[in-house]
Amino acid sequence: MSAAHHDSSAAEPVDVTDGKLTKFDIVKEGLRRDGIEILHYEPAFPVPGTKAEKRIERFIALCFTVAGLGALGFVAVFAFWPWEYEFAELGTAESWSKWYTPMLGLTLGLALAGLGIGILTWSKKLLPVEELVQERHDGGSAQEDRIITGATLSNVVDETGIKRRPLLKRALLFGAAPLGLAAIAPLGTLITPPGDDLVTTGFSPAKNHGEPVRLMLKDGTLVRPDMVSVGGQITVFPAIPGGATNEYADSPTLLIHLRQEDADKARANAYDMYKGAMWGNYIAYSKICTHIGCPASLYEQQTNRLLCPCHQSQFLITDNAKPVFGPATRHLPQLPLAVNEDGVFYAVSDFLVPIGPAFWERG
Amino acid sequence: MKRRKFDAKQMPAKIGNELDDRFKLASPVRGLLTKVFPDHWSFLLGEIALFSFIVLLLTGTFLALFFEPSMVHVVYDGSYTPLRGIGMSKAYESTLHISFDVRGGLVIRQMHHWAALLFVASILVHMGRVFFSGAFRKPREANWVIGFILFILAFFEGLMGYSIPDDGLSGTGLRIVHGITESIPLIGSWAAHALFGGEYPGEVIVTRFYILHVLLIPGIMLALIAVHVGLVFAQKHSQWPGPGRTEHNVVGYRMFPNYVSKQGGFFMLVFAVIALMGGLFQINPIWLFGPYEASVVSSGSQPDFYVMFLDGLVRLFPSWELSGFGFTLPAVFWPAVVGMGVAFTVPLLYPFIERRFTKDKAHHNLLERPRDNPTRTAVGAMVTSIWLITTITGANDIVADKFNISLNAMTWGGRIGIVVIPVITFFITRRICLGLQQHDREVLAHGIETGIMRRDANGRFYEVHQPLTSEVDEHGHPKVLEYNGWTVPKKMNRVGALLPAVKGFFKPVELPSETPRREVEGDDRSREEIEAGRR
């Protein structure tokens, strides 16, 4: 290996202006001068025009033709295929437009694949088969170069005189460091105090001119007891402007009408702060999972469990919605319920503990 | 004066000379044209990432012409009738607009998403190749670090990309991002407030993620990719060991025409696959998810596959919350923030960690076969097993549903699995590597097992071995060959025992070369024996 390299470097330089040299002779001389040695080099088809060569040529030509046709097809489909979307129930659509996207992908894919396969076949089958060796020159510079560059660098430092002018050094530091601060200071605009955002919801009377907040459905209908059948559950929102929108993303609440025996259990298990929070057999829990805030909305009637589909925390609704499985650590806060003289549910107060995932100041 | 005749033949030379007069190009261009690249299929994995990135830039630019990153509330009135009259954000509406009312919008959108998945997937596989072959060793540590930073950026780039359409699924993802941010000790609630510009979900997060997604992160990635590829170029690609290959040379073919034509063809193929997937396979059908509403979620809410490991970790971690002195350290902090932190820093520093243990300061341009470094391979397999367990756990509700397994059993399986399986994987992988090493040495010493059983005069049965060398030692036994770090032939057809396959589908393209099959009686018999051995 290395012996072969010595041979080539030892050879006399060839005069490339010599008119008798072939083009490939000059290429070889260039390789030699660049420290590249040809180990193996042969044309893919030493005898031109064989059947096999022609066959490959035809195949490549076919690929490029397919590519061209595919590309034209893409343009044609793009421009002339009916593309306007028509809605139809799944499986009933009769329109051509539903094939628009697949046709675009198909034609474009065909065009690109034809081009790709053609080029690759050309490369692998028609280009000369070759193997070359090139020297690596890694492992760093020569020691002398390092010394010279190092001296030059440290000379630059000396020339600025920063080493023997400590006053300038300190002054520069004082001048530049605050500039760095100034550069990041505008980002401070992003920081705003969270205030009580994390501990209040739309059910806080403060959001309703001090009046207790009534419960509503997403469409604004006020919630009455007869709207939930026994064993059923609905999602309710604070009946304030925008109460069902993402502006009050912390407020969605599950209102559950428990069966008698479950309601008894829930009442018996209730934590002290939740004594009397139920209204009849109705109980309301925050829908926002105490793990990381997905809506814990899958209600399994048989086991009285609420499941959060994001990370599978499970909460037992007959026992303060305390977590019984999965990564959640805290129970779902309960909303103290009552019904007013109009027969409409309202929240006696906001949730008694912060809803949703835990955070540092929560305590 | 007579005007000189235009000579088309002389034009290239003339242009070349004019350019060289100004830029002195001759020598550097020649160096570029004849630069030698080593060849191996595994070196092309990183290219898939590069090509997908180019497709992402192209398709992303098209999408940016129509997407409106705004959370302003609008009422939908487009072609998709089921959502007409429903209130939603401008971002979601414009994504629906791209999908239904922009000519060719859907195919570009789907290509963008598929290309993103392919991008991250190919980064992961490419990283695996670099890791298991030891290509990150000196002098290439810096490029490993840059590559890993690119992976981290791709992770967040993708996460933000699927967050900004503001559909039901991406909103759920954002809620989790918010919950994770909130869990950081001391600054959590402030950080979440700053990120979302107020209480969750606020009105700015889509706009903020958008500018990060289309400008800041891709800009940094573009610069880093240029450095990444430039370093490969400058440091010359590492190569697998093989005859004639040393630490001080590169054996392969020239950049032009071989390498470049293969790259060009391969780019077209990658692009073609993305186009076909974008056209034929539906991805992220946001119109089925509806606009984001804080109270709505569906089962089967999975992030894109590369985020699933994190989601899986969060699902597995037990409910261990610490609190005291009026402060709380949420349980989710450990898997999400610490877990992600470890996942993004330890691999980043792996070249330096390994060097601390091996004290290996040499330059390495020859790659190592995974078996030749059992500990590293075992570490890699262990990390892969952790990644697989957490990723599968990230979809454990789907697995539980499809295979009729209890969801809780899946969680417990994952919890126990993530403690036990990596350890087992480590030891088994190590043993497999050592076993493979031993077998290599065995074949080099005794030859290839031919499968031919013979019985000698004493009645003893033995298997005929085909020595790999004709040289013999002083006892007349075949010489024991030294292991050189490359593949040892272990089957007879690797050393030419089989006739070359006949090419052609229906009829031979060329008649097989005339191998003297039945010339001598003795030769004929040995051929039959070898063929019998392969049946």
pLDDT digits (tens, 9 = 90+) for B369-401: 999 999 999 999 999 999 999 999 999 999 999
The Cα B340–Cα B333 span in angstroms is 10
User: What pLDDT is stored for residue A98 in this prediction?
Assistant: 87
Which amino acid is residue B438, in one-letter code?
A: Q
pLDDT, position B528: 43
Q: How confident is the model at residue A2, as a pLDDT?
A: 40
pLDDT at position A48 is 87
Q: Is the pLDDT of residue A253 over 60?
A: yes
pLDDT at residue B511 tops 80: no
Rounded to an integer, the average pLDDT of A216-240 is 93
Looking at the partner chain, which of B103, B190, B408 has a beta carbon nearest the beta carbon of A191? B190
pLDDT category of residue A137 using cuts at 50, 70 and 90:
confident
Average pLDDT over residues A233-241: 93
The distance from CA A75 to its chain's CA centroid, rounded to whole angstroms, is 32
Minimal CA–CA distance to A287: which of A242, A326, A325, A256?
A256
What mean pLDDT do residues B190-198 have? 93
d(CA A24, nearest CA chain B) in Å: 13
Testing the interface with A: which of B182, B270, B311 to mutate, by most A Cβ within 10 A? B182
Residue B28 forms contact with A (CB below 8 Å): no
**B178 class by beta-carbon count within 10 Å (0-12 exposed, 13-18 middle, 19+ buried):** buried
Mean pLDDT throughout B218-241?
96
Question: A133–B278: do the CB atoms touch at under 8 Å?
Answer: no
How many beta-carbon pairs below 8 A join chains A and B? Answer: 306
State the nearest Cα–Cα gap between B490 and chain A, in angstroms.
Answer: 25
A117 and A219 in a single domain? The answer is no
Split at pLDDT 50, 70, 90, the class of B417 is: very high
**pLDDT tens digits along A6-27:** 444 456 788 888 888 999 999 9
State the angle between helix axes of B374-393 and B407-446 in degrees (0 to 180), rounded to the nearest 10: 160
B273 in A contact zone (CB under 8 Å): yes
Q: How confident is the model at residue B1 (pLDDT cuts 50, 70, 90)?
A: low
Question: Each residue of A76-115: pLDDT tens digit?
Answer: 999 999 988 888 766 666 788 889 999 999 999 999 999 9
3-state secondary structure of B366: strand
In chain B, positions 43-82, which contact chain A (CB-CB < 8 Å)? Answer: 73, 79-82
Give chain A's domain count. 2
Structure tokens at B277: 């997937």
Q: Using an 8 Å CB-CB cutoff, list chain B residues near A104.
A: 104, 107, 279
B36-300 is classed CATH 1.20.810.10: yes
Closest by alpha carbon to B292, among B125, B499, B93? B93
Looking at the complex, report in whole angstroms how far the Cα of residue B425 sits from the nearest Cα belonging to chain A.
26
The answer to whether residues A230 and A259 touch, using CB atoms and an 8 Å cutoff, is yes
CA distance B371 to B241: 14
Whether residue A185 is contained in a domain is answered as no
pLDDT of B255 strictly over 60: yes
**Is the predicted pLDDT of residue B415 greater than 90, yes or no?**
yes
Rounded to 5 degrees, what are φ and ψ at A274? -100, 5
Q: Where are the domains of chain B?
A: 36-300, 447-492
> What percent of chain B is helix, strand and coil (3-state, nearest 5)?
60, 5, 35
Pair (A37, A117) in one structural domain? yes
List, as one string, the DSSP characters of B34-71.
T-EE---GGGGHHHHHHHHHHHHHHHHHHHHTT-----
Higher pLDDT, B355 or B513: B355
d(CA A335, CA A213): 11
Inter-residue contact A355 to A254 (CB < 8 Å): no
Share of chain B above pLDDT 70, in %: 93
Determine which of A75-79, A109-113, A161-165, A250-254 has the lowest per-residue pLDDT on average.
A161-165
Contacts of B211 (CB under 8 A, 6+ apart): B69
State the Cα–Cα distance between residues A305 and A324, nearest whole angstrom.
9
- Burial of B228 per CB tally in 10 Å (0-12, 13-18, 19+): buried
Q: Is residue A33 part of a domain?
A: yes
User: What CA–CA distance (Å, rounded) separates B459 from B455?
Assistant: 6
Nearest to A116 among B246, B268, B326 (CB): B268
A246, A294, A332, A362, best to mutate vs chain B, most B CBs in 10 Å? A246
pLDDT tens for B454-476 read: 999 999 999 999 888 888 888 88
DSSP 3-state of A35: coil
| Measured torsion, CA atoms of residues A135, A139, A144, A150, in degrees rounded to the nearest 10 | 140
Are A359 and B265 an interchain contact pair (Cβ–Cβ within 8 Å)? no
pLDDT above 60 for B217? yes
| Interchain pair B252, A118: CB under 8 A | no
Contact A123, B257 (CB under 8 A): yes
Which among B258, B272, B323 has CB closest to A363? Answer: B323
Select the residue of A86, A197, A293 nearest B175 (Cβ to Cβ). Answer: A293
CA distances from B439 to B53, B154, B377, B458, B495 (A): 42, 41, 17, 28, 17
Residue A256 sits in a domain whose CATH number is 2.102.10.10
Q: Compute the distance between CA of residue B82 and CA of residue B80 in angstroms, rounded to an integer.
A: 6
CB contact under 8 A, A297 and B273: no
Task: List all residues 6 or more positions away from B366 whose beta carbon is below 8 Å from its beta carbon.
Answer: B238, B239, B240, B241, B245, B246, B247, B485
Contacts of B490-495 with C-beta under 8 Å, sequence gap 24+, read B490/B439, B490/B443, B490/B448, B490/B449, B491/B448, B491/B534, B492/B448, B492/B450, B492/B466, B492/B530, B492/B533, B492/B534, B493/B534, B494/B448, B495/B448, B495/B466, B495/B468
CA distance B285 to chain A (A): 13
Any idea what the Cα angle at residue A105 is, between residues A103 and A110, rounded to 5°?
A: 95
> What is the model's pLDDT at position A92?
64
Q: Determine what percent of chain A falls in helix, strand and coil, rounding each to the nearest 5.
A: 40, 15, 45
The residue among B7 and B401 whose pLDDT is bigger is B401
CA B314 to chain A, closest CA, distance in angstroms equals: 7
Please identify among residues 172-201 of chain B the ones whose CB lies closer than 8 Å to any CB of chain A.
172, 175-176, 178-180, 182-190, 192-195, 197-201
- Position A168 in a domain: no
Per-residue pLDDT tens over the stretch B163-184 = 999 999 999 999 999 999 999 9
Q: What is the dihedral of CA B504, B506, B510, B511, to 10 degrees?
A: 120
What one-character DSSP code corresponds to residue A207?
G
Helices (H), B317-447: 339-345, 350-358, 374-393, 396-402, 407-446
pLDDT band at B8 (very low <50, low <70, confident <90, very high): confident
The secondary structure element, H or E, covering residue B449 is strand B448-455
Residue A330 domain boundaries: 205-347
Of A131, A136, A307, the CB nearest to B253: A131
CA distances from A246 to A6, A243, B199 (A): 76, 8, 10
| pLDDT of B95 above 60 | yes
Contacts of A285 (CB under 8 A, 6+ apart): A253, A254, A256, A306, A315, A317, A321, A332, A333, A334, A335
From A36, A122, A310, residue closest to B34, measured CB to CB? A36
Whole-number pLDDT of residue A7: 46
Asked if B498 reaches chain A (Cβ–Cβ under 8 Å), the answer is no
Q: Are residues A220 and A310 in the same domain?
A: yes
Contact by Cβ (8 Å): B277, A105: yes
Mean pLDDT, chain B, whole residue set: 90
Q: Which residues of B237-256 are buried (b: 16+ CB within 10 A; e: fewer)?
A: bbbbbeeebbebbbbbbbbe
DSSP A281-343: TEEEEESB-TTT--B--EEETTTTEEE-TTT--EEETTTTTEEEESS--SPPPBPPEEE-TTS
Mean of the pLDDT values across residues A269-277?
Answer: 92
For the residues A252-277, what does the mean pLDDT come to? Answer: 93
Q: Which residues of B touch A291 (CB under 8 A)?
A: 179, 331-332
Chain centroid, CA B313 distance in Å: 21
